[in-house]
C-alpha cells in the first residue's frame, strides 16, 4: 500500500484540487484509494459533493463528540467507486487537542497506528494536508512514506517550498522511510515568462521528482462548485489530461518498484 501526503507549507497551491482529482483518477484506474482530509475547512467533502456523518476525529478516537462509540468503518465514507473518504472539518481542532493529551511516546504515531487496513484492502492512502505545522502535521508525516509537493508557478512559490523542507527534514529524523517523491508544478500558464522560469528552475533542482505540470485551467476551478471532479465535469479539459498523466506516473512507479529484485 502506498501512503502519500500531498503537502506544502503555502496555501493556494492546489493541494486539495490535486488530492481529489488524483485520487479519483487512480480509483477509475482500478486502484482502491482512501482519501483523508486533514484540513479544518472540510474541502474534500465539499468538492466531492458528499456529506459523511463521521470522519477523522471519530476514526482516530473511536468516539463522537458526545462520547458514543463509533466503529472505524462508520467513519469511512464511499464517495465514488474504489474511492473512500475520511472527512476533516472543524472536529480536527478537537482531534489535535486529543493528540496533545496522549502519552508523549505515542503522541506522534497515533494516526499511523490507527490507519492499518486489513491485508490488501487498499492500494493508496492519500492525505490532503493543511498548510502549517502542528501535531496533526507531524502525525501525518509519521504515517506516510512519500510526499507529493504541489508548487504553484506563480509568485514567491519557492519560499513556501523552502519552509516545507524544514518541516520535512524534522520529520525524517523520526521517520527514516519518509521521502520527497514528487514535485508537482501547478497553475502553469504558458502565456507568462514567470511560469516557464520557475518550472525550469524546479526541473534543474528536482530532476528525479519533477512531474508534468498541471496547467492553469478554468475547468478545474469550476468543477468543485458542482461537487464533481474534473473527470466528471469535463474529461477532455487540460486539467483532466494533466491529472491523468500524474496518476499514470504514480501507478507506473509502483509497478517498477515491485519489479526491483529483493535479495534480503
The whole-angstrom separation of Cα 160 and Cα 153 is 12
The residue ranking higher by pLDDT, 103 or 261, is 103
Does 262 have pLDDT greater than 50? no
Tens of pLDDT, residues 140-180: 999 999 999 999 998 777 888 889 999 999 999 999 999 99
Give me the domains of the chain, ranges plus CATH numbers. Answer: 2-258 (3.40.50.300)
Q: How confident is the model at residue 59 (pLDDT cuts 50, 70, 90)?
A: very high
Closest among 169, 132, 116 to 147, alpha carbons compared = 169
Tell me which of 36-40, 71-75, 114-118 is least confident: 114-118
Q: What is the pLDDT of residue 32?
A: 96
Q: What is the mean pLDDT of residues 16-34?
A: 97
Does 220 have pLDDT greater than 80? yes
Does 258 have pLDDT greater than 80? no
> What is the pTM (predicted TM-score) of this model?
0.93
Amino acid at each position: 500500500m502506498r501512503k502519500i501526503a500531498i503537502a506544502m507549507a503555502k496555501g493556494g497551491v492546489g493541494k486539495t484540487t490535486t488530492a481529489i482529482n488524483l485520487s479519483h483518477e487512480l480509483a477509475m484506474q482500478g486502484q482502491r484509494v482512501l482519501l483523508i482530509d486533514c484540513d479544518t475547512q472540510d474541502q474534500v467533502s465539499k468538492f466531492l459533493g458528499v456529506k459523511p456523518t463521521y470522519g477523522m476525529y471519530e476514526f482516530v478516537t473511536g468516539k463522537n463528540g458526545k462520547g458514543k462509540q463509533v466503529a472505524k468503518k462508520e467513519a469511512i465514507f464511499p464517495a465514488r467507486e474504489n474511492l473512500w473518504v475520511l472527512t476533516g472539518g472543524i472536529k480536527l481542532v478537537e482531534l489535535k487537542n486529543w493528540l496533545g493529551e496522549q502519552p508523549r511516546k505515542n503522541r506522534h504515531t497515533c494516526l499511523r497506528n490507527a490507519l492499518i487496513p486489513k491485508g490488501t484492502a487498499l492500494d493508496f492512502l492519500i492525505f490532503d494536508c493543511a498548510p502549517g505545522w502542528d501535531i496533526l502535521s507531524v502525525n501525518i508525516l509519521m504515517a506516510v512514506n512519500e510526499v507529493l509537493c504541489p508548487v504553484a508557478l506563480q509568485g514567491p512559490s519557492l519560499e513556501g517550498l523552502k519552509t516545507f523542507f524544514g518541516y520535512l527534514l524534522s520529520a525524517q529524523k523520526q521517520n527514516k522511510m519518509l521521502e520527497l517523491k514528487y514535485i508537482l508544478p501547478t497553475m502553469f500558464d504558458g502565456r507568462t515568462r514567470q511560469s516557464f522560469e520557475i518550472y525550469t528552475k524546479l526541473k534543474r533542482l528536482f530532476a528525479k521528482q519533477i512531474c508534468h505540470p498541471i496547467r492553469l485551467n478554468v475547468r478545474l476551478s469550476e468543477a468543485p462548485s458542482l461537487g464533481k471532479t474534473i473527470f466528471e465535469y469535463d474529461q477532455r479539459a487540460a486539467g483532466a489530461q494533466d491529472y491523468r498523466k500524474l496518476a499514470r506516473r504514480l501507478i507506473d512507479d509502483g509497478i517498477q518498484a515491485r519489479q526491483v529484485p529483493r535479495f534480503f
